[in-house]
Structures are given as structure tokens and as C-alpha cells.
A = this chain, B = another copy of it.
């Protein structure tokens, strides 16, 4: 079994701590270890480094190399452009097939929070049995909702199609984007929905087949790359082909249109840590509900998230429910309620010619 860790994103949602030069997976954003390091550690004992691929944007080669430890050099794959997860998964599947023929492949985001690691390993340990029983299906891990979240995508499950160990495998009826509160409550009450964890597994031939049928442009691009993979010409070929590949995610581009999609429940705490507000929920708060990281001072305030990097001081006076994030270069101020709009702000900064702060 192979593992593919996807770390090729931009990370604009955690601006100004995450920047183009150092997106979220590479940041020690929880004050412990960079998220990609945590992700790789969770795989220890399940998939060895020789069978783990990490895909990053080539501009993050250096920072990634420092963090991936004993990962073999040829397993750190450099994407020349930001192209979302579908091209990433397709490229990884093709590399694995070229090296070892069709294999079971698990595919994980590099920047999620998962506890405990043992439960993730247990869940993914069933991947081979699942794909053996249903070799053409694509599998996703669902998380049973513990509250009506509006910040996650949802999966509507259908009938059980089988069982591995004591765990049912369900048919997937549909995927749903982040819902409104009313819809989230209906999903939660029905008991038929899982949160979409963004963790997948499948046989490499199954995903490549699904790509060829659902995203023929991507399929052709990957086929064109094949002769050059793992050769000296690989980077040149990637630089030639990648700009043409569609900018699309695994969910939208592949899974939603595939014939056989299954979901298995993951019995672990999971969070995709999509906003500053969500991140704050994973950090300790003081008696007034203020979450503070770095050099900060919160005078007469409550419910704030204060995050200061590189010895910059953030000092607030008499404010409530704000998010203040600052580095020596830039300061972000927004409210807890609007944390999900940071991408909008980043887009506006590009528009205004403020790229040097991104």
C-alpha cells in the first residue's frame, strides 16, 4: 500500500502567517509541530517512507525537504503550478503504477488535525481489504458529525454494500458543499450524513480510470507525462504539461461523477482547520475566552483570537470577538464571524497590487 500526502496548496486562509512562501502545512501553527510533520508521523507503522509520496509546489521544495525527514528524495514530488487535488492524485497514481504496477493508494491532505493517530491507522489499515472486495470503487473516509457544522462538506450515505472487519462500507449517494445552519441541522438530525474528511483510498488503476472518463484533459496530460516520470526529464515535462491541466479538486472533478463511490466511517476526531476561528478552537483559551499565541497582551477583552509571529507584539484594549494576526510585515484584523472571508481579502490584496505581502 502507498500513501500520498497532498501539500501543494497556497494556504491563503491563514494569511498573514501563511504566505505564498510558506503555506499552512509547513507552519508550526499550533505551537507544536508543522502540520505536515504531524501528518507523516501519523503514517508511521502503516506505510513506510519508501512507499510514501509527498506532493508540494516546487517553490516550497526547500522548506518541505527540511520537514519530510527520511522521505527518499524521489518521493518528494514538485508540482510546477498550483492545480488543486485532482491533478495531484492523478500524477501520484501514475508515478506509483510506473514504479510498482497497480497498487492500493491512500491519499491524505497534509494540514488536518486528527486524534488519535492510532484510530486513523486502524481505519486506513482496512483500505486494502476494502479495495480487494470492490476494486473499481473509490473510497472516502466519513466522520460522524458531532454538531451541525457549517464549515465542512457533507456526504450522504446510502445502503451498506459490504463490511470490513466490523465496519460497514456504505454506498455514497451524494456530496454536499458547506451548508447553511438550517441545512446543517437537518443533516445532523437525519443521521445519514458524514463530514467529508478529504481522505481517500482506491486502487491506482481505479482512480486513473475514473480520471480518464471524468476529466479526459487531465487523463491525457498524465498519459503524456508517463514516459518522463522518474527520469531527468520529469521536471521539464511537468513544467510543459501542468499549465494545461484543469484546476479542480478530487471531490468536484472525480468523485462526484464516478460510478462507484463508497464511504467508511473514521472513528477519530478530525478537523480540516480551515479558518483562524477553527484553529483557535484547538488552542487553549484564558478565562475570558481569549486565545493568544506569541507575544500578546489583551487588556479588558474577551473572545479574541490574538496571534503574533516573529516577536511582533499584538496588544488589544477593550475589544471583543476579534481575530488579530500580525507579523513584522503585516497585520490582519477581522471578526470571529468573518474568518472564512480571509481568502476574499487576499484576493483583494492581489487586485490592489499588494502581492509583496502575500
Contact = CB atoms under 8 A, between A and B. Distances in A.
Interface of A: 16, 295, 297, 299, 308, 312-319, 322, 324, 326, 328-335, 337-338, 341-342, 344-345, 348-349, 352, 354, 357
A352 to B, nearest CB: 6
Given A313-B329, A313-B331, 19 more contacts: A297-B345, A297-B352, A297-B354, A299-B344, A308-B331, A313-B330, A313-B357, A314-B330, A314-B331, A315-B330, A317-B333, A317-B344, A318-B335, A318-B338, A319-B322, A319-B334, A322-B322, A326-B331, A331-B331
Contact of A333 (B312, B322, B328): B322
A297 B328 contact: no
A352 B313 CA distance: 12
B333 A345 contact: no
A324 B319 CA distance: 11
Given A313-B357, A348-B297, A349-B297, A318 B341 contact: yes
B313 A354 contact: yes
A324 B331 contact: yes
B317 A342 contact: yes
Contacts of A332: 315-317
Contacts of A344: 299, 317
Contacts of A326: 326, 331
A338 B320 CA distance: 13
A318 B334 contact: yes
List the 7 closest pairs (A to B, CB-CB), nearest first: A317-B334, A313-B330, A318-B338, A328-B328, A326-B331, A316-B333, A313-B357
Interface-central residue, A299, A342, A354, by most chain B CB under 10 Å: A299
Nearest to A323: B317
A328 B331 contact: no
Contacts of A297: 345, 348-349, 352, 354
B312 A328 contact: yes
